[in-house]
Chain A
Amino acid sequence: MPVPVAIAVTLQFLLAAAFLIIPITVWITGGAAQHAAETEVVRQGHPAAVLVRHGIRFKEERWEFALALGIAAVMATLAWLNLTAHRSGRILSWIIEPVVLLAAGTVTAGQVFAARYTQAAFARSDDPAVRDIDTHAVIAAASTEFPSWLRPLVLTRFALTTLGSLLVIILLATPEAGTHFP
């Protein structure tokens, strides 16, 4: 197998793995993180509901969980098609990778910059008391409930989604990759 295809397949399998491990971890620990964040908000003298009211959640909705697993399945399928030199693998990769880059890139960026995002959500609030919430303490409280390797993995997934997708598109277009596909 040509080296560019091998790298592209590896990147796709890694992204699939990230989209499998992160949602399952958050599914298991998200409830405790949400509870910790709410406790911190209450400790700062605000009702626990301010988080939900400003769209800040550490727990995943069922559809978000299903969507993430769906992306994992699609990426694993693409990797498998490319690995087995199926003609459709390269074509589908060129169609799906840019969509993943934009759509999943936007969503995962929200997680990478969670602290800034939360700060902005509170700063925009029409309730002046909410604007004074110590966001870093809220995020820190939630983070203690997540495993310590989750944060590096979230950053890795963001890199795989953006730079990784771009790389896969380019690698599959190289002349060497062309010899791999019928």
Chain B
Amino acid sequence: MNALTTVMQLLVAVAFLSIPLVRHRYGAAATARAQAELARQGVRTTVLAENGMRFDAGGHETAAPAAVAAVMAALAALNLSGGDWARPLTLVFQALVLVVNCLILYSQLTAATSVQAAFRRNGDPMLARIDVPALLKAAEGGFPSWTWTLQNVRHAVVFGASILALAAAALA
């Protein structure tokens, strides 16, 4: 049982690291495409930086998933060594990872509307005019086509492996 849990937790750790790695490699290209699209729409290209919108691996886009991966790796080690705290901590953190991943999925599905809302709240009429779906589509074009598949595999791994690890720890 502990071996299964350990493998599941390592899978979740790798899944969380995958997106920052892709953003690190292709983020600059995506940002360039997004800025080109803004220029095409006649908007100053600095609005991305002004509103904290980024497509690269900077800031919390790396720190947050790396922290999750570190916690998962620590749990995997704990499960392997079979300490008393392995079971409660596995239940606690796997439940949290499940909830966090639901939030990530929700924010990905509502990205266009939330960016639009942020631009509108800003009060600058130039920002309210931006065609956000076109902007996001342009940025997406900077990433390789398999990124979409990776995204789905990542979600499947995180949800599937977390549920399996939870079940293994609960039934142990």
- Residues on A lying within 8 angstroms of B by beta carbon are 91, 94-99, 102-103, 124, 126, 169, 172-173, 175
Contact = CB atoms under 8 A, between A and B. Distances in A.
Contact of B96 (A91, A102, A126, A175): A102
A99 B84 contact: no
Nearest to B96: A98
B88 A172 contact: yes
Contacts of A175: 84
24 contacts: A91-B91, A91-B169, A91-B170, A94-B91, A95-B91, A95-B166, A96-B95, A97-B92, A98-B96, A99-B95, A99-B96, A102-B96, A102-B99, A103-B99, A124-B121, A126-B121, A126-B122, A126-B123, A169-B88, A169-B92, A172-B88, A173-B85, A173-B88, A175-B84
A102 B85 CA distance: 21
B99 to A, nearest CB: 5
Nearest to B100: A102
A94 B99 contact: no
A75 B93 CA distance: 19
Contacts of B121: 124, 126
Contact-size category for B: 10 to 19
Nearest to A97: B92
Contacts of A98: 92-93, 95-96
A91 B95 CA distance: 11
Contacts of A172: 88
Which secondary structure dominates chain B's binding surface? helix
Contacts of A102: 96, 99
Residue of B88, B122, B169 contacting most chain A CB atoms (<10 Å): B88
Contacts of A169: 88, 92
Contacts of B96: 98-99, 102
Interface string B116-140: 0000011100000000000000000
A103 B96 CA distance: 10
Residue of B84, B85, B91, B170 contacting most chain A CB atoms (<10 Å): B91
Contacts of B170: 91, 95
Given A94-B88, A124-B121, A173-B88, 15 more contacts: A91-B169, A91-B170, A94-B91, A94-B92, A94-B95, A98-B93, A99-B95, A99-B96, A99-B99, A102-B96, A103-B99, A126-B122, A126-B123, A172-B88, A175-B84
A167 to B, nearest CB: 13
A74 B88 CA distance: 19
A169 B85 CA distance: 11
B101 to A, nearest CB: 13
Contacts of A91: 91, 169-170
Contacts of B93: 98
A95 B93 CA distance: 8
A150 B84 CA distance: 41
Contacts of B99: 99, 102-103
A175 to B, nearest CB: 7
B87 to A, nearest CB: 8
B165 to A, nearest CB: 12
B94 to A, nearest CB: 8
A52 B108 CA distance: 27
B34 to A, nearest CB: 25
